Amino acid sequence: MPRVHFRISHRSPARPPGTLFLTGDHRAWSSDPAGWTFGPDGTLDAELPDGTLLGVKVRCVAPDGTVTEEGDAWGGRAPAHTVVVRGDTEVRLDVAGWQDGGEGRSRPARSLPPTAELILTAPWGEQPVRLWEPSGASGTLPLLILHDGQNVFDEGPSFAGESWDAAGAAQALADAGHPLRIAALPVNEERSRRYVPFPFELNGHRPGADEYCNWIRDVLRPALAARWGDTPPAQTTLAGSSFGGLITLYAGLRDPDAYGTLGVFSPAVWPADFELLRWMEGRSAPRARVWLDMGDHEGGSLQGAAEVVQLTHDLAARLRPHVQDVRVTIGAGHWHDEAAWRARFPAFLRWWLRADATPASRSAAARRAAPDSA
C-alpha cells in the first residue's frame, strides 16, 4: 500500500497550544487524535490505498480537550487540502491560520456581495433571502433562485471561506447585455431535512423538502413578484449543488410548470438508497431545460469518482425523454466544493440565458469545465 507523507510546510504564528493531528474524509472528520498526531517536526506518515481521493485538515487539541481547526489567515474557515494518492505521495499542508469564531470578517472581499436582503416568514422560522440585481435594473428580468445562499455571494458566511461569486458572474453577463436577478436562500443545520425529500439518517427520517418547495412557490415567489414584477416560469430558474442539486431536480419534476431551467450541480442522489431514481419514474417536465454537472474528483477514490461520473451520464439518459433539454458538463480536476461550482457557474449562466460564447472567446475557467458532447 502506498506511503503518504504529510508535512506541515507553514505554521501560523497564532497556533493554539496543544497537539496537532490530521483529520479528513478518511476518518469521517473525527476529532480523536489517536493514531494521527504529527511529530515534533510537523510530519505524519500513513498508508492509504492507491487512487484514494480525500480532503484533510489539521486540528489542534488543547490540554483541556478543546479542539481548534485550522482556518484562513483571518480566522475564518478554510477549504480542505485535497489529496490524490498515486503511489508514494508527499502532501504539503500550508496552515495559514486558526479559526477564531469570527467567520473571517476581516478577510478582504474577493466576490461581490448581495445588493439587498429580505426576511420572510417560513414554517421553520424567519428565512433570510439574499438578493442581487444589476445597478439600474428595471422591469421584469430572468430570475435565478439559489439554494445554499450562505455560500453563493461573499466569502464571509460561506462554508469554507469560498463562494460561487454568483454576483460577479451575473454582473459579467449584465455587462454583456444579459441582465438577471438572483434570490439566494441561506440554510442552517436543517439542510438535510429541507433539501432531501426522502427519509434517511441525516434528516432523522423526517424530510421537509415538500414544505420547502411549497414555501418557495407560495411565499417566496409572490414576495419577489411584489418587489421585481412577476417573472414567468419560462424565465425562472432554480439551482443548487450537492443536496441543493437534489432538491432542485426534485422540485422541477414535482412542479413541472414552475421553472423553465434547473441548475443541477453535483447532485447528491444517494440518500435512501438512491430513492430519487425510483421516484423519478413516470415524472416529466417537458418544458424544462436541465443543466447537469459533476466533477471528476467527486468520490472517495479515482474509481469511485469515475462511477459518480457514469451515474451522472445515466441520470441524464433517464431525464432526456422527459424534459426539453439536458446539458451535461464534467469538470476536469473538480472536487465537490465551492471552488468547483464557482468555476462552472458562469458557463451555466450563459447556457441558461442562451448567451453561450464561441469556443475561442470562452474564459479559461469555462474551458476547464467545458461540457462534454452529451
17-39, pLDDT tens digit by residue? 999 999 999 999 999 999 999 99
Please name the residue that has the C-alpha cell 416560469: 233
pLDDT at 339 over 80: yes
Is 153 in the same domain as 38?
no
User: How many Cβ atoms are within 10 Å of 88's Cβ, its own excluded?
Assistant: 12
Is 296 in the same domain as 158?
yes
Is 168 in the same domain as 92?
no
Please give the residue range of the domain that contains residue 198: 116-368
pLDDT value, residue 360: 36
Is 238 in the same domain as 197?
yes
Is 313 in the same domain as 170?
yes
Is 94 in the same domain as 120?
no
Is 84 in the same domain as 141?
no
pLDDT value, residue 107: 79
Pairing of strands 81-84, 3-10: unpaired
CA 332 – CA 312 distance, rounded (Å): 14
Domain count, the chain: 2
pLDDT value, residue 5: 98
pLDDT at 286 over 50: yes
pLDDT value, residue 364: 37
250 domain residue, yes or no: yes
Phi, psi dihedral angles at 72 (to 5 degrees): -90, -175
Is 322 in the same domain as 175?
yes
Number of H helices, E strands in the chain: 9, 16
Contacts of 142 (CB under 8 A, 6+ apart): 179, 180, 181, 231, 235, 236, 237, 352, 353
373 domain residue, yes or no: no
Q: Is 137 exposed, middle or buried (0-12, 13-18, 19+ CB in 10 A)?
A: middle
The model's confidence at residue 362, banded by pLDDT at 50, 70 and 90, is: very low
Is 247 in the same domain as 333?
yes
The mean pLDDT value for 348-365 works out to 67
The model's confidence at residue 365, banded by pLDDT at 50, 70 and 90, is: very low
The model's confidence at residue 372, banded by pLDDT at 50, 70 and 90, is: very low
Is 186 in the same domain as 235?
yes
Say if pTM beats, i.e. exceeds, 0.75: yes
Q: At which of 72, 98, 124 does a domain end?
A: 98
159 domain residue, yes or no: yes
108 domain residue, yes or no: no
Please report, for the domain that includes residue 55, its CATH number. Answer: 2.60.40.10
CB 243 within 8 A of CB 168: no
